[in-house]
Amino acid sequence: MSGRVMSDFQYVPLDEIRRAMAAAKDDPNERVEVLGALARINVLYMIARAGSGHPGTTFSSLDLVAWLQLNELRVGEDPRNPQDVYFSSKGHDVPAFYALMIALERLPFESLHTLRRLGGLPGHPDVGTATVAMNTGSLGMGISKAKGIAIANRRLGIDGRVYVLTGDGELQEGQIWESLQQAANMHLHEVTAIVDYNKIQSDTWVRAVSDLGDLTRKFEAFGWDVQRCDGHDPAQIGEALSGARAAGDQPSVILADTIKGKGVSFMEGPAMPPEDQMYHFHSGAPDVEQYVRAHTELLAKANKKLEKLGVEPLRVEGVPRPPTRPRSGTQRFIPVYAESLVKQAAQRQDVIALDADLVLDCGLIPFRDRFPERFIECGIAEQDMVSVASGIALRGLLPVAHSFSCFLSARPNEQIYNNATEHRKVVYVGSLAGLLPGGPGHSHQCVRDISSLGAIPHLVMIEPSCEEEVALAVDFCLNSSDESCYLRLVSILVQVPYELPSGYQLIEGRGVVLRDGTDGVVFGYGPIMLAQAVRASEELERDHGFSLKVVNLPWLNRVDDDWLCETIEGCQAVFTLDNHYIAGGQGAMLGARLAELNIDRSFVFRRFGLTQVPESGGNVEVLAAHGLDGASLAEAMQQTLSAMTA
């Protein structure tokens, strides 16, 4: 031990990794075991320091990836363009990949400290990181991408194999099964899929969400060779991969039985669901007590392995934990949504809630427990869920479909449009909306849903600005609107430096002034951008003498013309602020409407929002990187207002 107190986050430095790996150099199985033990310590450090991640699936996949990297993959002359390709389709496990690449010195050791930080290692795989071959996005893409690599290899005369890691919950995605038949028909024996078969998906057990049945028979029916192994036993992993290479002209799948959270006893998920039916270490970071317990256990296991090799115990290094941020004045929308939905369902027997394997994140546990007969778990299958909702609506019931906004708006987009053409009401609730949290990376930062859904007929889109408005929005979607609705919810804990006026009610197409002003007006929605708009307005008044009106317009694709004209009256500049790409956001709608109204006076119109793929990092630094924090907005708006008055 280094002598540092356990208030630090501790990691295994590079010289210690080299020393330990040198002792196991003669036995491939021992090398995998030692590398896995060291990498687990560093993975725990990375996730704890980042404050978020996916420890369960990272630990379950680590031994499989370690074997591939040490014993299977042929790199070739150019490490940036390897002969054999490995990538993860599920993506949540990427801290394991990073830790292994760092230990094998294929990534700079300093990057160990940069998980989910701006300019560092993204929260999900991204090709901007050296050694990452493919991005992840919505689940189910991996085998299709692997097929494409294999087809290109044949065309180019490259003798290379392609290994793709999937999750077992991921097998609920339709694209997985679409990809299998063609691979068999084309005899793509170069492709090996590896299923991290830990039996648990996001927060609960696969069998409780959507049982996969007999996977061996299913894959064989699609013409695939099937191998099975203990995904934590290096010898069995090696034998399974040897069997895959010997499978003739068939593509192969390895069903690797693993344990979610492997290596940390209290994180390890049992084979059968516990009474509460929840797994608690899928996502997030360990708290202080959990981190100390997990680190102590992992370090002891690593040192025990080294002792058998006759090697001295590990020396670890540490960095101080960051201070805890105050939570005063903060709000969290999902619990308020959960309470509001249950309240509405108690009054309306026709409300049916559907979920796409995000029961915890979408706030559906209270509904599921109170109305189990009206709760439908569809699993990782958003297209199926949305079309199920169509059938429910046909019979006059009111389906409310839930997922993360990034998945709900994109993958079942065609199904949502089809539902709209049937003129039946469905409510869609997309959580984790917008640029933040920045840690997971662009696969989870939903900044294009307004553009992808905004043109769908008879679909009203709303993003509430505070807890009070969440409850009002739920009531509007379920009771006041005759049309389908898309409710966009921010999931993170947010500071809300404003209040709605007493007696405020939602009126379609109209907003409310949060801070008055006369020189300019900024339209925004939701707590992330409205908080920054208020701060920008305060700074403009304090430092530059400009008076900026801040307006909350929760309607993302509707605006009342009379209200809009009244709101901008007397302002020299009109700004819009989107928690979304500028293209297709609320600002684009407002700009188009103002142009069509032919208002008989001049003003400057300027939009703020994203213009490039979102950065991965801490929330504060991501906002600043995109020029969407209060200080950056104040500077840009000041320049515009100053030019108007010059």
132-141, 344-353, 422-431, 499-508: least confidently modelled range: 132-141
pLDDT in tens, 226-240: 999 999 999 999 999
Q: CA dist 66 to 43, 168, 231, 316, Å?
A: 13, 19, 11, 21
Query: What's at 264, amino acid-wise?
Result: V
CA gap 129, 105 in Å, rounded:
14
Three-state secondary-structure class, residue 155: helix
152-166, 313-327, 476-490, 533-547: least confidently modelled range: 313-327
CA gap 165, 200 in Å, rounded:
15
Q: Tokens in use for 362?
A: 């979408």
∠ CA 253-355-386, nearest 5°, is 85
509: left (phi > 0), else alpha (psi -120 to 50), else beta? left
The pLDDT confidence band at residue 273, using thresholds 50, 70 and 90, is confident
pLDDT for res 228: 98
Beta strands in 61-220 (DSSP E): 85-88, 162-167, 191-197
Q: Count Cβ neighbours within 10 Å for each residue of 322-342 and write b for 16 or more, e otherwise.
A: eeeeeeeeebbbbebbbbbbb
pLDDT in tens, 93-125: 999 999 999 999 999 999 999 999 999 999 999
Query: What's at 518, amino acid-wise?
Result: T
29-38, 269-278, 595-604: least confidently modelled range: 269-278
Q: Is the peptide bond before 437 cis (omega within 30 degrees of 0)?
A: yes
pLDDT for res 291: 96
pLDDT for res 438: 96
CA gap 269, 275 in Å, rounded:
13
Q: What is the mean pLDDT of the chain?
A: 95
pLDDT in tens, 442-490: 999 999 999 999 999 999 999 999 999 999 999 999 999 999 999 999 9
Contact predicate 80/60, CB 8 Å? no
Q: CA dist 617 to 119, 121, 133, 437, Å?
A: 7, 9, 21, 8
Contact predicate 387/428, CB 8 Å? no
CA gap 85, 91 in Å, rounded:
15
**What average pLDDT does range 567-573 have in this prediction?**
94
Q: How many residues does the chain have?
A: 646
Query: Where do the H-state alpha helices sit in 348-475?
Result: 365-370, 382-394, 405-408, 413-421, 449-453, 467-475
Residue 564 has pLDDT above 80, yes or no: yes
* Beta bridge partners of residue 427, listed in sequence order: 400, 485
**What average pLDDT does range 331-345 have in this prediction?**
98
Residue 343 has pLDDT above 90, yes or no: yes
Neighbours of 138 (CB within 10 A): 18
* CA 562 from centre of chain: 39
Contact predicate 319/9, CB 8 Å? yes
Residue 617 has pLDDT above 80, yes or no: yes
pLDDT for res 498: 97
Residue 205 DSSP label: B
**What average pLDDT does range 602-617 have in this prediction?**
96
Give the residue carrying structure tokens 């007590």: 289
The pLDDT confidence band at residue 81, using thresholds 50, 70 and 90, is confident
**What average pLDDT does range 202-217 have in this prediction?**
93
pLDDT for res 243: 97
Residue 275 has pLDDT above 80, yes or no: no
Question: Could you tell me what percent of the chain has a pLDDT over 90?
Answer: 92
Residue 500 DSSP label: P
**What average pLDDT does range 65-76 have in this prediction?**
93
88-92, 319-323, 571-575, 583-587: least confidently modelled range: 319-323
CA gap 312, 314 in Å, rounded:
7
CA gap 542, 520 in Å, rounded:
15
Single pTM value for the model: 0.95
**What average pLDDT does range 384-401 have in this prediction?**
98
Question: Could you tell me what percent of the chain has a pLDDT over 70?
Answer: 98
Query: Where do the H-state alpha helices sit in 577-629?
Result: 586-597, 619-625
The greatest distance separating any two alpha carbons of the chain, rounded to the nearest whole angstrom, comes to: 85
Contact predicate 204/380, CB 8 Å? no
Residue 599 has pLDDT above 90, yes or no: no
pLDDT for res 462: 98
The residues near 195 (Cβ < 8 Å, ≥ 6 apart) are: 166, 167, 168, 171, 215, 253, 254, 255, 256
Give the CB-side neighbour count of residue 95, counting CA atoms within 13 A: 35
Residue 146 has pLDDT above 90, yes or no: yes
Query: What's at 110, amino acid-wise?
Result: E
CA gap 135, 441 in Å, rounded:
10
Q: Tokens in use for 304?
A: 């025990």
The pLDDT confidence band at residue 82, using thresholds 50, 70 and 90, is confident
Three-state secondary-structure class, residue 383: helix
Q: Catalogue the long-range contacts made by 25-34 (C-beta closer than 8 Å, 24 or more residues apart).
A: 28/70, 28/71, 28/234, 28/238, 29/234, 29/235, 29/238, 30/309, 31/70, 31/71, 32/63, 32/66, 32/67, 32/70, 32/71, 32/234, 32/237, 33/234, 33/305, 34/302, 34/305, 34/306, 34/309
Please provide the DSSP assignment of 186-222 as one string.
Answer: TT-TTEEEEEEE-SB-SSSBHHHHH----HHHHHHHT
pLDDT for res 2: 42
pLDDT for res 7: 67
pLDDT for res 1: 41
17-21, 133-137, 195-199, 218-222: least confidently modelled range: 133-137
The pLDDT confidence band at residue 4, using thresholds 50, 70 and 90, is very low
Residue 392 has pLDDT above 70, yes or no: yes
Three-state secondary-structure class, residue 272: coil
pLDDT for res 203: 86
Contact predicate 487/427, CB 8 Å? yes
